[in-house]
Amino acid sequence: MTPGMKRCAAHGVFAAVVLSAPALFTRMPFYTLSTAVLMVMLAIGALGLVPLTGLARQVSLGQAAFYGIGGYTSAVLSTRYGIDGWTAMACGAVLAGALAWLLGLAIFRAQGHYLTLATLALGIALSALAGQLPVTGRNAGVAGIPPLEAFGIRLDGDLSVFYAFAGMLVLCVLAVDCLLRSGFGRALTAAGDSPLATAGSGVDIARLRRAAFVLAAVLASIAGSGYAYWYRYIDPGIMGLLSSVELLIIVTVGGTRSVWGPALGAFTVISLSQLSKQYLPGTGGTYELTIYGAALILTLLLLPDGLVGAFAAAGRTVRHTVERRRTAATARALS
């Protein structure tokens, strides 16, 4: 089987697993369709961190800001101006991408952790701004957001919303995978591994990082819009620091250098959250945050490449063991 066929098979298996989640979750304890929808939304939002953090090695703490931009843009355009949901979602993605591009013009010309600090400040500023503006409903947020419609069908139930955004997740994973396997992806990997050597070869590193930042912002915006249309309500809390940290934990646990990492990380992190709510009730979220932190620390110490990297290493070990045994059996047969 050629590498291209293997990739197609992998995407097919991924699509089958994701789309079969409702049938599985309704038969498993403490999993619901709402849990599946949340996992899909967070996986889309965290997917943009694969090229930005995994390949370009740039840490962003502002994904929740772009998540909120998408959500608020869709909410305001749909409730106040009656604009179609998909059009409003596209407007939110364009706005988030444009803001990321403008911010990237300044921060990627400098060295150091400027992206982390700038995106952290962006999230705090936008959250405070959304809590003060009348158009965003101030701290009360925006309620009564109409659901999306597709082919004349209102996506007002968990099952319909799940299939719509699960399909979008599959398409986004495929698109990002193709992008990372192109010349852009290889240049981005080189810039993350050895920026000085890459710059010395004539590659514009700032432009590469800015493109990855824009991609991350657009994907986060799409996820935020989806959340607004699913939950039918949005408030400034969506752009808080904890939301950005959660997305970063998701991609770190799953694997920052693989397009499969965000989906696996979302499943793992949300499962831990559900476990803490199921078996540690009435704790006000304290234990939930503790479990998140413990999961991140254990991943960084024991699984530096995330769960995807651990599964890949286990697969290589099994293949090498099988090959050695096959070689030894052939040698004994010939002797």
User: What does the pLDDT read at residue 316?
Assistant: 85
Distance of alpha carbon 114 from alpha carbon 96, whole angstroms: 19
> 289 pLDDT band (50/70/90 cuts)?
low
> 287 pLDDT band (50/70/90 cuts)?
low
Mean pLDDT of 257-285: 81
User: What does the pLDDT read at residue 187?
Assistant: 93
* Highest mean predicted confidence (pLDDT) among 73-82, 110-119, 186-195: 73-82
What global pTM score does this model have? 0.92
Does 70 score more than 80 pLDDT? yes
User: What does the pLDDT read at residue 107?
Assistant: 85
Does 260 score more than 80 pLDDT? yes
pLDDT tens figures, 155-178: 988 999 999 999 999 999 999 999
Percent of the chain whose pLDDT exceeds 90: 57
User: What does the pLDDT read at residue 228?
Assistant: 96
Residue ranges of the domains in the chain? 3-240
> 151 pLDDT band (50/70/90 cuts)?
confident
User: What does the pLDDT read at residue 285?
Assistant: 52
> 243 pLDDT band (50/70/90 cuts)?
confident
